[in-house]
Amino acid sequence: MSIRFVFDGIQQVGAAVWFSPMIAEEVRLIGGMQTTLGARTVIAVLNPVFREAESRLEVEPSACHVLNLGKGAGAYFIDLGAEVPSHLPSAELADSGDRPLPMMKPGDRAFLEKISRMSPELQQAGTRILSAVRRQVPQGELRLEGKRFVERPDNFWTVTPQPREPSLAITLRGKPDRFSSSRVDVRKDRRPYSRLKVTRDSDVEEVIRIILSAKRKGM
C-alpha cells in the first residue's frame, strides 16, 4: 500500500476546492512551499480522494505541493487535475488526464502567487485555466508585463488579475466569431485579439475551450 497524506477536518467549499483548519506549522511539514504572501494558504493537489462522511482528504505525497503559505488561519486545497475540457480532440482528451503537469516555471508561479490574494473561487478558476493550458502547451510560460501576464514565446493569450472587480481579464488571438460561445461573452479587442472576463468558476470549462481554440503560431 502506498503512503498517503491524510488530512482530517476537511470541508468542501467548491468544485475541486476544500478548506482545512490546519495551522501553519502543519502546512510546513508538507514541504514544497514557494511563497509567503497574503492571507490565504494554497495547496495544490492532484487526484485526491475526498471522503465526505469522514471529512477527510487523502493524497499521494508526490501530488501535494504548497504554493503559498498565507498569514491567515486554515488552508485551501485545489485539485489541479479535477477536470479535462470536454471539447478537446479525442486523442488529446485521452491522454491529457494522465499527463503530469510540467515543472512549474517562475512566470507561472508568479501568476499563482498573484491570484492567491483573490477569492477562493477565482484562485481555483485561475489555477484550473493555467493547468489546462500548460498541459497542452508545456513549452510556454506566463510572463508579467506591466499588470498583464502574457504567454511566451507565443502570446496567443494573456490574463490580467483584477482584484477590485473581481475578475480575470483574458485576451485571445482571434476574432470573436472564431470562438462562438453562448455561455461566455467574447468581445472584440485590439486586432487581432478578442477579450473576455472570468468572474465565476462555473465558466472555467468553456473558457479553457476558448483559450485552447485561439490562433497559435504554427497551427
Q: Helix or strand or coil: residue 56?
A: strand
H or E stretch at 11: strand 11-14
pLDDT tens-digit readout, 58-95: 988 888 888 888 888 889 999 987 554 444 343 333 33
CA 103 to chain CA mean position, Å:
14
Location of each CATH 3.90.1150 domain in the chain: 83-219
Name the residue type at position 66: V
Q: Please give the model's pTM, rounded to 2 decimal places.
A: 0.58
pLDDT of residue 91: 36
pLDDT value at position 34? 59
Q: Fold for domain 83-219?
A: Aspartate Aminotransferase, domain 1 (3.90.1150)
State residue 38's pLDDT score: 78
Q: How far apart are CA 99 and CA 165, in angstroms?
A: 34
- Phi/psi for 152 (5° steps) reads -125, 150
Strand order through the sheet with 41-45: 11-14, 17-20, 75-79, 41-45, 64-68
Give the number of other Cβ atoms within 10 Å of residue 55's Cβ: 15
**Contact status, residue 217 vs residue 154, Cβ threshold 8 Å:** yes
Residues of the chain predicted below pLDDT 70: 1-3, 31-34, 82-104, 219
